[in-house]
Amino acid sequence: MNIAIIGAGPAGLAAAWELSKRGENITLYETDKSETGGLAGAVPVNDTYIDRFYHHIFTSDTDVLDLISEMGLSKDMLWVEPKNGIFLNGTLYPFTSPMDLITLPEVSLIGRFRMGLAVLMAKNVKDYRSMEGVNARDWLIQKTGKDAYEKIWRNLLYSKFDKDADSVSGVWIWNKFKLRGSTRQNISKEMLGYLSGSFFRLYEILANRLKDAGAKIVYEPVTRINGDGGKVVVESARGATVYDKALFTAAPALLCGLCDFPAEYKTKAVYTKYKSNICMTIITKQQVSDYYWITVAQRGAPFVLFIEHTNLIKDADYKDKHIIYLSRYVDETDPFFQASDDEIKGVFFEYLGMLFPGFRREAVMDSYINRAVYAQPVVGLNYSKHILPFETPVKRLYLASMAQIYPEDRGQNYAVNMGRKIAKIMSEEKL
């Protein structure tokens, strides 16, 4: 079969690879070569790459680890115990283990105990559907107490989902607890994984392996997708090409802009709201903190995550440069998302100086802003009832997007898993 795949992110590349191994003829479409890897894309620094958006994986991420192994990169995986923190009420606290939760002075002793127990017990919960009708706020109050919710979890939810925080399902926060519990080797030790040279290396090698196997990669945007007598027609600047099947791997709303779908399907496709992300990368001569990951749970903070990547990964190719990410989730229509790079940098740098008074702006060697419109689906109540099927109303046109990952949250591992799953479905369905 001749199959088109639109999107060279982890899901699209994984699907293309699986279909190619099954003997299918693949044409992969991506807007630009620099977009290979999607949100796992990277930029060159010295003789290596760094992520445009921060990444790490967990020991439980078996699908992406299998792919890393298949591409011959397992030897380049680095596993490190992180040191995490939380900035709360003007104070920075350790926030790595359940014991850190238990000793957090902002919450009463019983509240701290309930928080630690909730994290540890989450991995034993099997029936997530019982939580679908409960929002994260009520679930957290039930499990950890109102005191803990008001002082910690409320700020964390708002830092991630802003004005949509109260509509987020309890399933989302439960899965976060479950993931952190399952990746621990013991009660206090958590291991995070990173691919030396960035995860972009994985997707770059995968794209090259696809080309070696005979796949075509077209670096230009798709402008239209139509059905034609059981075939799928994909249009780009090069013209129209007819395929036996096609897979679209970006947000459902973007697919609706390319196809003529029934009104009912369009309504379902745009039901899931996304949060957009602003990520500022700072390259500096100065180590700013001792922590890898700091959650900024402070109302009014312009960024909600501080990630000092080089406190997790020591790479000689960084040549003593320190790499920091500052992250903020907002709506695409938010004025801050629409602000200029210089405006955002000014606000971020000012607050960074407040967070770390020893931070020196003159030590900054470079900085830049990356934006992603479709960065985080808002997982609302009864989310499973709103998930689109892989099959679309256009015969033999399929959809595989991060909005369809559930009950897990978006991430490289689940994108690769989805790519493999949809490849099997597409390959086995008869023409």
In terms of domains, do 110 and 153 share one?
yes
Q: How far apart are CA 162 and CA 144, in angstroms?
A: 21
In a domain, 220, yes or no: yes
In terms of domains, do 264 and 411 share one?
yes
pLDDT of 152 higher than 60: yes
In terms of domains, do 210 and 332 share one?
no
Q: What values do phi and psi take at 297, rounded to 5?
A: -95, 55
In terms of domains, do 299 and 347 share one?
yes
Provide the domain limits for residue 287.
Answer: 274-377
pLDDT digits (tens, 9 = 90+) for 6-35: 999 999 999 999 999 999 999 999 999 889
In terms of domains, do 254 and 303 share one?
no
Domain count, the chain: 3
3-state secondary structure of 35: helix
With tokens 């445009």, the residue in question is 52
In terms of domains, do 121 and 203 share one?
no
Q: How far apart are CA 75 and CA 69, in angstroms?
A: 8
Q: For position 183, what pLDDT does the model report?
A: 55
3-state secondary structure of 286: coil
In a domain, 331, yes or no: yes
In terms of domains, do 253 and 300 share one?
no
Q: Which of left, alpha, beta for 54 (phi over 0: left; psi -120 to 50: alpha)?
A: beta
CA atoms within 13 A on the CB side of 88: 20
DSSP string, 367-429: EEEEEEEEEEE--BTTGGGGPPPSB-SSTTEEE--GGG--SSPS-HHHHHHHHHHHHHHHHHS
Which among 150, 182, 214 is the end of a domain?
182
In terms of domains, do 281 and 367 share one?
yes
Q: How far apart are CA 77 and CA 68, in angstroms?
A: 9
Per the omega criterion (within 30 degrees of 0), is the bond before 262 cis?
A: no
Whichever domain contains 295, its CATH number is 3.90.660.10
pLDDT digits (tens, 9 = 90+) for 71-101: 999 999 999 999 999 998 889 999 887 778 7
Instruction: Give the CA-trace dihedral at 188, 189, 190, 191, to 10 degrees.
Output: 170
Q: How far apart are CA 306 and CA 280, in angstroms?
A: 10
In terms of domains, do 267 and 387 share one?
yes
3-state secondary structure of 14: helix
Spell 344-355 as b/e; 16+ CB within 10 A means b.
Answer: bbebbbebbeeb
In a domain, 189, yes or no: no
The mean pLDDT value for 230-246 works out to 95
Q: How far apart are CA 235 and CA 248, in angstroms?
A: 13
CA angle 11, 173, 277 (to 5 degrees): 55
Residue 377 tokens read as 């689906």
Q: For position 188, what pLDDT does the model report?
A: 56
In a domain, 94, yes or no: no
Q: What is the CA radius of gyration of the chain?
A: 22
In a domain, 134, yes or no: yes
Spatial strand order in the sheet of 222-228? 222-228, 231-236, 239-243
Q: For position 180, what pLDDT does the model report?
A: 65
Q: What DSSP character marks residue 168?
A: B
Q: Which of left, alpha, beta for 42 (phi over 0: left; psi -120 to 50: alpha)?
A: beta
3-state secondary structure of 325: strand
In a domain, 370, yes or no: yes
Residue 24 tokens read as 């299918």
Q: What is the mean pLDDT of the chain?
A: 92
pLDDT digits (tens, 9 = 90+) for 377-405: 999 999 999 999 999 999 999 999 999 99
In terms of domains, do 243 and 291 share one?
no
Q: For position 54, what pLDDT does the model report?
A: 94
CA atoms within 13 A on the CB side of 205: 14
**Which of 64 and 102 is assigned the larger pLDDT?**
64
Q: For position 225, what pLDDT does the model report?
A: 98
Say what percent of the chain tops pLDDT 70.
98
If you count them, how many residues does the chain have? Answer: 431
**Which of 113 and 344 is assigned the larger pLDDT?**
344
What is the number of other CB atoms lying within 10 angstroms of the CB of residue 398? 23
pLDDT of 262 higher than 70: yes
In terms of domains, do 161 and 32 share one?
no
In a domain, 315, yes or no: yes
Q: How far apart are CA 184 and CA 408, in angstroms?
A: 18
Which among 361, 377, 393 is the end of a domain?
377
In a domain, 323, yes or no: yes
